[in-house]
Structure 1
Amino acid sequence: MAALKIDQLLRLTWFLGAYAIRQEAKAQKIPGIMHLECAVNMVEATAAALSDWPNGFHLLLDELGKRTSLEASGNKLPAHFGRFYPTLYKSFPEPSFSFLREGFESYIGDHWSGQLNKRNRRFSQASRDSHEWISIKEAAKILHMRTTKVRELVENGLLIGRLFATASGRKMGAVLKDSVTLTAVGQAGLVTLAEAKEMSGFSKKRLYKLLGDGYLRAARGPGVDGYPIWQFERAALEEAIRLTKGEART
C-alpha cells in the first residue's frame, strides 16, 4: 500500500470512497463531486477502509453485502456485490494493488457461504481451491448421488449446507466441503451387495427378500438415492444376518 503512486491513490480513493458513501449500483457516478464536502467525505471514507488493514476494508464489504441477500443474488458474487466486484479486478490489475485483491478474497473465504467455481475466474486458483463451500452439483458428483438426494441430506441435517429458492423459483444452495468429505469417507466403508452375499452366505434373491421384508435397510442403491449399486452399513448387515439366522434355528 505504501508503494502506491499519487495517481493510483487517487483512483483508489475514487473507487473505495464512492462505494463507501453511496453504495449504489453505479456508485462512481457521484452528483456534486466538485463540492468540497463530498470530496472530504470520500477521502475520509477511503481512509477508514484502508485503516487497520484489512479490517476496515472488510467492514466496507459488510456494508456493501447488506444491500442484497444471498437468496436474492442467486448465490452469485457479481449479483451480491454489484459492479464493485468486476471493477476491483478490471480497474486495479497492477501488482501494487495485489493487497486489494487479496483483501477481498480473504473476506470471501471467511464470509461467503456460496460456492466458488471456474466462473469466478478473477479469483486466484488458490482461493477457489481453499474455499470451504461447494455447489450442490459438485457435492452430488463427489458422493455419486443425485442432486435431489444431496438436498435431502442437507434438509435432514446429514450434510452441512444451506438451501434457498431464487426469485425465479430455482432451488440453489451450497454444502460445506468438509461435510461432504466426511460423508464420502463414511460411504467408503459401506458393503456392496456382492460383499454382503459373501459375508452372509445368502443368495442375491434372499438378500433382496430381506430388503423387501424390511429386515435389511440399504444405505444406498437404486431405490434409495439412485446409485446403481446397492450398499449397506456393515453393522446393519451384520444385525440382519444375525436375526435371519437366529429365526432359521428356531
Structure 2
Amino acid sequence: MKALPLRPAPIPGEPLDSYMERLAHANGCSTSDLTRLIRQYGDDHVEGLSCLLGGQSLVDFGSPAIPKITIPVQSLGLTSTSFTHRRMRICPSCIAESPWIRPLWRLKVVTACPVHGITLVQNCRRCHEPVRWSTALIGACGCGLRYRASAHKVSHAELVLMRAIGASLDGTGDLVVGDLALRMNTAEWSTLLRYAGRLVQGPTLQRPGKIAVLEDLDVARGLVQGTLALLQDWPDAYWRCLQKFVDAAPWDGGVRRVFTPLYTVIYELLSEPAFQFLRDGFETFLLEHWRGELCGRHRAFRPETLQNHPRKGLAKLAREAGMGRSLLKRLVHNDYLPGIRFRSPSGKRRETITVDVSKVAALLPDRSAYRDLKSTAHLLGLKRSRLRQFVALGILQADCRPDWSRRSHWHFHKAALQDFIARLQTLSRSEAFESTVTLGEVLQFWQLAPQELRALFDALWCGEVPLRMTESTVISAMVLDGNRTRSWLEDYRRRTIPWITPTQAAKLIGVKEQVVYELIGKHLLVADLVSGGRSMLKRIRHDSLQAFQRDYVSLSTLAKAEGTTATALLAKLPAKPVTGPRVDGGRQYFFRREDLAGLNLPDAVED
C-alpha cells in the first residue's frame, strides 16, 4: 500500500473520525475513500492507517469510533451517543492557533472553550450554514462572515464548569460552588448535565436524561444553563424544584409517587457516589418539608434521615406512645392535635394521617421554649444551610412545628441548644495551641465532606481534637488546634481513602521523600498516576505500601536494630542489595527480606 502524499501527524487524544477528516482534506479525498483504503489492507486496520502515514506510529485516538474500522479509541466511559457525529463544533481561536478538532468539543454537553472562554460555533450567525472542515480551516463561512463573529464570551460560572469537564478528560474534574464541592470523571459530568439540566421543570419532567436533539448546540446550552442555575444557588434552587413536586400532589403521602420521576433518577439512574449530593439534598429537604411518613420501606434513605424525620403515621405512633389509634385519630379530626391527612391514591375512602411525634408528648408546647431556624443560626454563628446540614447529619436535633405557620419549619429547643453549647464549653482547654484555626474557617475552606464533618464532631466529643471556647463565643468562632485538627483529618482520610501521597509514604517508611520517588522509579514501590490539574500526581495505595514493607527493608533500619553503623553492617552482609549508591546510584540501600531470611539478624527483618 502506497503512503499518502500529505501525512499530517495525529495528535494524542484527537477524535479518530476528526483526524480522518483532517487527513482526507489534506489529500483532497473523502473520508470514505480513506476508510476503503484502510479496509483493503486487511483485518489489522491500525497497521493499515500506519502504512498510509508512511509507517509512523499512531497515538491514542479519542472517541467516537468509526463504524467498520477496528482502530481503538478512548471512550472515557461514554457511549457513542454522548459525542457529536453529524455536526461540527469549533472554537475559532483554538483553530486559528492549531487546526485540529479538540476531543472536548465532541462531547454533546460542552458548549464553550475552557481556554478562551467563548462559545463554540456550530453554525454561521448570518446564513446559518453548519461549520465544515474546509470552512473551519480558513476561519470563515462561505458567506464571508468570520466565525469569530458568531462566538461570544460566556459567564464565569459556565467557564468554570467547562474547565471542570475539560480537566476530567485526564481523570477527574473539580467544581466548587459555595459549600458544594464536586469531583467527577467525564462520564459523570456528562450524565449530570443530561439529568440536572432539566430538573427545573419539576413534575412536568418526562423521559429524564433522554434528549433526542442534544447534538444541537442551543439545546446543549439550555442544559448547561439549567445545571448552573441548580448548582449556583445550591441547595435552595434544588429545594424549590422539589417543592414543585409537593405542591403538585398535596394530598399524596407516597414519596415515590410524589417525586416521580426524580426519585428514580437520583436513587437508581444516578446511583454512583459522585451524585450523593443530590440524595443528601433530597433527604435534607424531606426532613424539613415532607409531611408524609418515612419508614422502613424507604431502604434507600440514610438511617439518620429515617430517625430524624419528625412525622410518623398514627398506627406506629400509637404503638410507641402506648395510646389508642382511635384516640389519636379523634384528636386530629377535632383539630386538637395537628395532623396531616392524605387521601388514598386508589380513590377508596381511606386516609393516611401523620402527626409530629413531639405533639403527642406535649399537645400544646410552649413556643417560648423554642428557637426558629434563623435565630438558631444567628445564635450559633452558622449559615442556615449549614445548620440544616448539622440536623441532617445528626449533630443537632430539631423539631418540626407545622401548626406554627403555613409550612413546616424547624424549631430548636432552647434547652437542647444550651446543652449542646455547654457540652462544647466543658471540652474547652486552656493550653496554648501551636497554631489555631476557627471552626468557621474549617467549614468554609477545608471542603469537608458530610461524613468528614460528622466525624469531626465525633472527634471533638471524645477529646481527640482539642478546642477552646469561651462563654461569649459562637461555635463558628470556636478555636481548634490547627496542627492536630489537620493531622486528625489526614489520618481520617488515610483510613477512608485507599491511597496516600509520596510525602505521607516517606513518613510511614521513615525515609526522605526523594527516596520514595526513587523507589517508585525503580518499580520497587508501585504507584498510580492521577490527574492533578496541570500535572500528573503519584498516589500509592495502602496495599502497595504494605507489600513493599513486607518484601524490602532498608540498610539503615537493619543497622539501627543491630546497634551498629550502616557502613559496617553493609561490609558484613553476604546478601546483595537491590538498590543503593553503589548498585544503581540510589540514595539508600534496600535488601529483599527473603535474601536475609537465613541470617542471624534482629527482629526488624521480620517486621
Give the structure-1-normalised TM-score.
0.65
Shift of 1:3: 1.3
**Identity of matched residues, %:** 25
For residues 64 and 38 of structure 1, what CA distance do their matches in structure 2 show? 24
Residue 32 of structure 1 aligns with which residue? 213
Letter in 1 for 2:301: F
Deviation at 1:25, TM superposition (A): 4.4
Q: Counterpart of 2:296?
A: 118
Q: Residues 160 and 175 of structure 1 are in contact (CA less than 8 Å); yes or no, is this contact kept in structure 2?
A: yes
Q: 1:92 to 1:114 in 2, by over 3 A?
A: same
SS in 2 for 1:2: strand
Tell me what 1:47 maps to: 228
Contact persistence 2:194–2:209 (CA under 8 A): yes
Matched, 1:90 2:268: yes
Cα distance, 1:40–1:65 mapped onto 2, change above 3 Å: farther
User: Cα gap change, 1:25/1:138 in structure 2, threshold over 3 Å: closer, same or farther?
Assistant: farther
* Offset at residue 122 of structure 1 (A): 0.8
Aligned residue type for 2:318: A
Q: Which amino acid aligns with 2:199?
A: Y
Task: Give distance in 2, aligned partners of 1:168 and 1:28.
Answer: 35
The answer on whether the counterparts of 2:195 and 2:209 sit within 8 Å (CA) in structure 1 is yes
Structure 1 residue 163 displacement after superposition: 1.5
Aligned-pair CA distance for 1:10: 1.4
253, 256, 267: which one pairs with 1:78?
A: 256
* Offset from partner CA, 1:8-32 (integer Å, 9 cap, x none): 1211111111332473343333453
Quick one: distance in 2 between partners of 1:24 and 1:111?
A: 21
SS of match in other structure, 2:183:
coil
Quote the offset at 1:92 in angstroms.
2.7
Q: What SS does the corresponding residue of 2:220 show, helix, strand or coil?
A: helix
TM-score, scaled relative to structure 2: 0.28
1:179 corresponds to: 359
Equivalent position of 2:285 in the other structure: 107
Report if aligned partners of 1:18, 1:30 keep a CA contact under 8 Å in 2.
no
Q: Which amino acid aligns with 1:141?
A: R
Equivalent residues in 2 for 1:76-225, closer than 5 Å: 76-166=254-344, 167-182=347-362
Bigger mean CA deviation after superposition, 26-35 or 140-149: 26-35
Offset at residue 174 of structure 1 (A): 0.5
Aligned-partner residue type, residue 152 of structure 1:
R
**Residue pair 2:194, 2:210 contacting (<8 A) in 1 also:** no
Change beyond 3 A, Cα 1:41–1:131: same
Letter of the 1:178 partner, please give it.
S
Greater Cα shift, 87-96 or 99-108: 87-96
Between Structure 1 and Structure 2, how many residues are aligned?
180
Distance in 2 (alpha carbons) for counterparts of 1:157 and 1:93: 42
Among 181, 184, 188, the residue aligned to 1:8:
188
Higher relative contact order (CA 8 A, sep 6+): 1
**What CA deviation, in whole Å up to 9, does each residue of 1:212-248 have, x standing for no partner?**
xxxxxxxxxxxxxxxxxxxxxxxxxxxxxxxxxxxxx
Gaps of 5+ in 1: 184-250
Q: CA deviation at 1:127?
A: 0.6
Measured in 2, the distance between the counterparts of 1:141 and 1:37 equals: 57
**Helix, strand or coil: the match of 1:173?**
strand
Q: Distance in 2 between matches of 1:104 and 1:58?
A: 8
Equivalent of 1:19 in 173, 190, 199: 199
Q: Kindly indicate whether the alpha-carbon contact (under 8 Å) linking 1:21 and 1:45 is maintained by their aligned counterparts in 2.
A: no
CA distance in 1, matches of 2:334, 2:291: 19
Kindly indicate which of the two structures has a greater share of residues assigned to helix. 1
Matched, 1:57 2:238: yes
DSSP-derived class of the 1:175 partner: strand
1:181-225 per-position Cα deviation (integer Å, ceiling 9, x unaligned): 336xxxxxxxxxxxxxxxxxxxxxxxxxxxxxxxxxxxxxxxxxx
Once the two structures are superposed, residues 156-201 of structure 1 have per-residue CA deviations (whole angstroms, 9 ceiling, x without a partner) of: 2332211233232211120011112336xxxxxxxxxxxxxxxxxx
Alpha-carbon distance in structure 1 between the residues aligned to 2:328 and 2:224? 48
Over 3 Å counting, the alpha-carbon distance change for 1:146 and 1:16 in structure 2 is same
Matched residue type, 2:336: L
**Counterpart residue identity of residue 3, structure 1:** R
On the 8 A contact 1:21/1:41 being kept in 2, the answer is no
Structure 1 ranges of 4+ moved more than 6 A: none
Aligned to 2:578: none
Shift in Å, 1:6: 2.5
Larger Rg: 2
The alpha-carbon distance between structure 1 residues 46 and 134, as it changes in their structure 2 partners (threshold 3 A), is same
AA partner of residue 49 (structure 1) = L
> CA shift at 1:80, angstroms?
0.3
Structure 2: runs of 5+ lacking an equivalent: 1-180, 364-607
| Shift, 1:132, TM fit | 0.9
Instruction: State the alpha-carbon separation in 2 of the partners of residues 27 and 97 from structure 1.
Output: 15
Determine helix, strand or coil for the equivalent of 2:352: strand
| CA–CA distance in structure 2, aligned partners of residues 2 and 28 of structure 1 | 20
Q: Tell me how far apart the structure 2 counterparts of residues 176 and 19 of structure 1 sit (CA, whole Å).
A: 30
